[in-house]
Amino acid sequence: MLLPKYLQDKSVYVYSCEKAGRARHLRCEKYGVGLIRFLHNDRDCAVAASRNEADHLLKYWDFHDNKYLRLFRSHTARVTSVSPHPYEDLFLSGAEDRSVLLWDLRQERPVAKINGQGPTVASFDQQGLVFAACVGQPKLHLFDTRNYAKGEFTSFDLRPHVTDQAQTVQFSPCGKYLLVRTRSQMVLIDAFDGEMICEYPAETGAAGTSVPSFSPDSQYVISGEGNGDVCVWATTNARLVHKLEGHTTQPARALFSPAHALVVTAAETLAWWIPDTTTS
C-alpha cells in the first residue's frame, strides 16, 4: 500500500506503508500540487490538483514514468476536493469557482457540471453508485452516478445542525453515514434521511484545517486537533475512544489503512501508528 505526500517545495513523496519508508520522489515544478488522490486501478497513477494560482487545472499523473497523461482544464479557481470513482475511470472535483465537475479520465473536458452558490466539495460513496455534493450552502445534494443528468434525487438541509458551509464531505465505508466538516464543526449525518446522528468535539477553528476519516469498518472516526493530538471517536455517539499523542502541530490528515492495523497521520512530519499489543 502506498501513500502520497505533497510539500510546499513542489515535491511529492510516495511512501510504502508496509515499510514506513519513502518509495518515490517526484517533482512538479510548473504546477505544484494542492490535492492528490490515487486512482482505483493503478497505484502508479493519481489525479492531482494544481497549486498554481494562475492555472487551476487537474493532472492525470503517471508516477512510474513521472509524466502527465492528461491535463483537465475547466475550473477557474482553487480546487477544493478530488474524489476518484472506486472502480470506473471517473472522478469528481469541487472548487471555489462554485462548480462541481464530473470527469472521465479519457476526456480532457468534463462530462457534467453542477453549478452552486459558493465553494463546492463532492465525494463518491464506496460503491460508486451515489455521489454527494455541497455547493455553497449548508445543504447536501445526492445524485445517482448513472442518472446525474436528471438532477439530485434528494437533498438534506444542514442548517439546523451546522452554521457554516461544508469544507469536506465523505461517505462511510458501510454507506450508512455522511461525515461533514465545516470550519468549526464536524457532524455525522444519516445518509438515508439526513438527520444528524452526533457531533464530534472540535476546537474552534481547528476542525477546518484537519481532514477526518472513517475506519474501514465504519466504527470509528479519526481527526487531528490543534494541539497535535489525534482523536479517535466511536462513530455513532462521538465517544472519545483513544488519543494519539506525538505531533507538535495539527495533523492535516489522519487515515486508517484499508488493509492493515495501521493509522498514518500527516503534520510537519509523517507518523505511522500500530496497535500496542503489550496492553489489553
Name the residue ranges covered by the structural domains of the chain.
1-70, 74-200, 209-279
Instruction: Walk along the chain (280 residues) and give the pLDDT tens digit of each residue.
Output: 444 555 555 778 888 777 777 777 887 777 778 888 999 877 789 999 988 777 889 999 998 888 999 999 999 999 999 999 999 999 999 999 999 999 999 999 999 999 999 999 999 999 999 999 999 888 999 999 999 999 999 999 999 999 888 999 999 999 999 999 998 899 999 999 999 999 998 765 544 578 999 999 999 999 999 899 999 999 999 999 999 999 999 999 999 988 888 999 988 888 999 888 776 5
CA distances in angstroms from 240 to 69, 103, 115, listed in the order given? 44, 38, 38
How many CA atoms are closer than 13 Å to the CA of 14, on its beta-carbon side?
Answer: 19
pTM, full prediction: 0.91
| Opening angle at CA 145, ends 68 and 142, nearest 5 | 115
Asked if 141 and 133 touch (Cβ cutoff 8 Å), the reply is: yes
Q: What is the DSSP letter of 185?
A: -
Asked if 90 and 102 touch (Cβ cutoff 8 Å), the reply is: yes
Residue 231 neighbours by CB under 8 Å, 6+ apart = 200, 201, 222, 223, 224, 225, 240, 242, 243, 244
Buried b or exposed e, range 93-128, using 16+ CB within 10 angstroms: bbbbbbbbbbbbbeeeebeeebebeebbbbbbbbeb
Please tell me the predicted confidence (pLDDT) of residue 55: 81
Domain at 209-279, CATH class: mainly beta
Please tell me the predicted confidence (pLDDT) of residue 280: 53
CA distances in angstroms from 238 to 101, 150, 166, listed in the order given? 33, 36, 19
Within its chain, how far is the Cα of 42 from the centroid? Answer: 18
Buried b or exposed e, range 252-280, using 16+ CB within 10 angstroms: ebbbbbeeeebbbbbbeebbbbeeeeeee
Other Cβ atoms closer than 10 A to 49: 26
- Domain 74-200: CATH superfamily is YVTN repeat-like/Quinoprotein amine dehydrogenase (2.130.10.10)
Please tell me the predicted confidence (pLDDT) of residue 11: 76
**Could you give the CA distance from residue 165 to residue 178 in angstroms, rounded to a whole number?**
15
